[in-house]
Structure 1
Amino acid sequence: MNPAKLILFAALLATTVVFIAAWARSVRRRRPASGLGPTALEMAVGFVTNFFDTLGIGSFAPTTSIFKLKRMVPDERIPGTLNVGHALPTVAEALVFIAIVNVGMATLVCLIAASVAGAWLGAGVVASWPRRKVQIGMGAALLAAAGLFAMTNLHLLPGGGDALSLQGGRFAAGLVGNFALGALMTLGIGLYAPCMILVSLLGMNPIAAFPIMMGSCAFLMPVGSLRFIEKGSYSPRTALGLAVGGVPGVLIAAFIVKSLPLTALRWGVVVVVLYAAGAMLRSARQAADISPPRG
């Protein structure tokens, strides 16, 4: 294996160890009254969403929709729960795709670093947001996700080129774009589809997007999650369920199933996500209606 990839793997594993240690310390200090043992539903959500995440569907929008429809997590804790719970499955995805897909290492490392910087700044902001602001932000994120799923099915996304690395102005544009996507990821806007669009617009081979987007998420989610963990802005039990169910889902999708016809599934996801977006924005409106007037 390329020595540069080995160094990247070592850095990813070190980041993951720091994340796990911080999560464990936080849970010991703030052990939830309901206990830590995740329910079968929470683990099933982790398995299913990360299974299809590995195949390219994405996990944030479907998970958010399930959380909202089943009332599993308070709205203001959904961004933190998504980032903390899906972090370890995403690390597993990144290890697989960085190993098997060739992409320029300088481009890969720098785009990952940009996304991590964006996530660190974004998480510090989102973790302190009140419920209504999170509801509005996530409602908008779900609408954007539904639009991207529909565009994918209608073949309206850019086709990309053949490049496996970026130089000059395109390299700078990639850094800025992935920085912004890293910041938005902490609000619950999945990085996969926007990153695929970004690298395609910059002339890269769409296959090169897989190690970039999964590597970005694998580094930025543990780093961004540290802010949510520090502030307690997540649901520990549900996050653990996502992680426990998610890692097997990734491995089965990557090494056994490998591919599935996903068009019909995406249309189903569009319907569910649109419903959840409406519910999220309706909750925000109701909160505004009952808020006492200022002054």
Structure 2
Amino acid sequence: MLLALQILFGALAAGTGIGLIFDITKNRMDELKGATGKQWASGFTVGIIANLLDTLGCGSYAPSTFMYKLFNQIDDIDIPGTLNIGDTFPVIFEAFIFTASVDCDPMFLWIMYICAAVGSFGFASIVTKWPRNKIRWALGIIMIPLAAIMLCKNTGVGPFGIIGTATGLHGWKLVVAAVLNILWGALMDIGFGLYAPCMATCLLLGVDATACFPVFMGSCAVLMPACSIEFIRTHRYDVPHTVGNALGGIIGVFIAWKVVTSLPMFWLINLICIVLLWTSYTLISSALKDKKAGIA
């Protein structure tokens, strides 16, 4: 069953890569050739840093969005598609690593992966039609409870501090986890990272903390290609940032896997919570500013 998962990951990476290359060469070569050095540097830097943090379990969407806003080299309307397509390849690399090295019930993994993909694919056709400010509001509002969940988990407040020992779930617990993973997969399409809520769900239901890693990493590895199809079809992504993020992201994953052995995770996760709240503030502020100027 694990070999089948590895084959699936390889097929998804190949399919997404072929679709992206085909769209760029057929429809968007001018954007690729006309990209500035600042755009390439922005995409590459975001890919390395965000996916290094991603491999450590911090998630990449919040720091990626923060850095995109900081560098100001990408249109906000293209952020969800750029994140989903660009991070597909490093996340699949992560999934390869953790499904092979961490013990977790294969059937539990399959069910969680399928549910995440169903949620993501079903929602992508909706979010790709949203206007810029709607995306800003969605991202900005959702990042606030995500920061709260991560902070509670990090400080052991409430159920997020409970340490489980299971490597899989069964019965009603599996049903709850599967249904919630459909929701987390759907919210991935607007930049709401799956890692933190999926990990919180699994921990709450008694899954061992280490066993959570192949669950949320594999969920993203499966769902991101599913929704990337829609983002590629509708051209709702930034070309240089997507390519730069993909290449830099793979390097970031490799560095975290081979070089980074320990970090003060308590303070690092607290920092990510601050980044989430700051990014939420900047997105909502931009939306309010445009609304005041009469821009939808």
TM score, norm. by length of structure 2: 0.93
Match of 1:267 among 266, 270, 287: 270
Amino acid at match of 2:256: A
Cα distance per residue 1:198-244 (max 9 Å; x no partner)? 11121221221110100000111111111101001110110111111
Amino acid at match of 2:149: L
Cα distance per residue 1:154-186 (max 9 Å; x no partner)? 222232422212111111111101111100111
Query: Conserved in 2, the CA contact under 8 Å of 1:136 and 1:280?
Result: yes
Bigger drift between 164-173 and 91-100 goes to: 164-173
Structure 2: distance between partners of 1:33 and 1:258: 42
Structure 2: distance between partners of 1:131 and 1:11: 34
Q: Which runs of 4+ in 1 moved over 4 A?
A: none
SS in 2 for 1:8: helix
Structure 1, unaligned stretches of length 5 or more? none
Match of 1:10 among 3, 7, 10: 7
Aligned residue number for residue 31 of structure 1: 28
RMSD value, Cα: 1.7
Cα distance per residue 1:90-124 (max 9 Å; x no partner)? 00000000001111111110110000000101211
Structure 2: distance between partners of 1:165 and 1:225: 28
Bigger drift between 20-29 and 267-276 goes to: 267-276
Map 1:120-269; keep pairs closer than 5 Å: 120-156=121-157, 157-269=160-272
Identity fraction in percent: 33
**Closer/same/farther in 2, CA of residues 290 and 41 from structure 1, 3 Å limit:** closer
Structure 2, unaligned stretches of length 5 or more? none
Query: Conserved in 2, the CA contact under 8 Å of 1:61 and 1:145?
Result: no
**Closer/same/farther in 2, CA of residues 172 and 268 from structure 1, 3 Å limit:** closer
Structure 1: distance between partners of 2:266 and 2:20: 37
Structure 1: distance between partners of 2:29 and 2:288: 30
Map 1:73-92; keep pairs closer than 5 Å: 73-92=74-93
Aligned residue number for residue 98 of structure 1: 99
SS in 2 for 1:257: coil
How far apart are 1:292 and its partner, in Å?
A: 7.9
Query: Conserved in 2, the CA contact under 8 Å of 1:160 and 1:199?
Result: no
**Closer/same/farther in 2, CA of residues 154 and 228 from structure 1, 3 Å limit:** same
Structure 2: distance between partners of 1:105 and 1:154: 30
SS in 2 for 1:78: helix
TM score, norm. by length of structure 1: 0.93
SS in 1 for 2:192: coil
SS in 2 for 1:253: helix
Amino acid at match of 2:25: R
Amino acid at match of 1:64: T
Amino acid at match of 2:27: R
Aligned residue number for residue 20 of structure 1: 17
Q: How many residues align?
A: 290
Amino acid at match of 1:14: A
How far apart are 1:88 and its partner, in Å?
A: 0.3
How far apart are 1:68 and its partner, in Å?
A: 1.5
